[in-house]
Copies of this chain bind each other. A is one copy, B any other.
Amino acid sequence: MTSKDFPLANIDCGDCPIRHRAVCARCEPDELQTLEAIKFYRTFEAGQTVVWAGDAMDFVASVVEGIATLSQTMEDGRTQMVGLLLPSDFVGRPGRETAAYDVTATSRLTMCCFRRKPFEELMGRTPHIGQRLLEMTLDELDAAREWMLLLGRKTAREKIASLLAIIARRDATLKLASDSRSIVFDLPLTREAMADYLGLTLETVSRQVSALRRDGVIELEGKRHVVVPDMERLLGETGDDTDGGMLI
């Protein structure tokens, strides 16, 4: 079982749609009640830091709405984003007291948090929560390794195309019913954040986005609104195998 078995679109459960996908799709009523008791919400404004690497972190959480980034920074300021947290993604590691990465809100962000200690206790007596977390962690590991290929071997143009394809694909799950052939979405990241994710500079990101537009691979309305007239064409620019599970 992978996270694809819990598509966001299939879930409709009130104030916290995410929690269910993340940890308790198979929870019994008493387990849900325990989760209710230890949960709380936090919201952050765009740009705010959720936690700094090394800080104590006494909760684990699920993103409800908005976007956050996980990043690592070297002493001299070089920064690499190591994860992008979209709605339904899980943050925090059971058994770890301090945050391993900087977590930053890149848009207005709502998270559903669970106090760590009682969450760990619940995990201890509720195996399927651990199983679910293992599935999610394995998915994240796959994503991290896919990103290693991107960082280590792809050209700047391929990197940009790959990022756009990933955002388009992830966004598309939320509006599949669309009739139009072309895919439309808003970039949730600044050029600088894209650069930090892709291991590039913001100037290179800007140049390559311009180049993809000039070549007709994408259209831009404003700086952030992207139209992909032909998804196949964009995928062809990523360097990835076009067959396989890649298509939307």
- Chain A, 54-88, CB within 8 A of any chain B CB: 70, 72, 74-76, 78-80, 82-83
Q: In the bound complex, how far is the Cα of B2 from the Cα of A76, in angstroms?
A: 29
Q: In the bound complex, how far is the Cα of B75 from the Cα of A241, in angstroms?
A: 7
Q: Which of A82, A140, A141 has the most CB of B within 10 A?
A: A141
Q: How far is the CB of A87 from chain B (nearest CB, A)?
A: 20
Interface size on A, residues (CB 8 A): 42
By the criterion CB–CB under 8 Å, are A137 and B141 in contact?
yes
A144 CB contacts on chain B under 8 angstroms: 141, 144-145, 148
A151 at interface by CB-CB < 8 Å: yes
Q: Which of B80, B133, B135 contacts A148 (CB 8 A)?
A: B80
Interface residues of A (CB under 8 A from B): 1-2, 70, 72, 74-76, 78-80, 82-83, 93-95, 100-101, 127, 130-131, 133-135, 137-138, 140-142, 144-149, 151-153, 198-199, 239-241
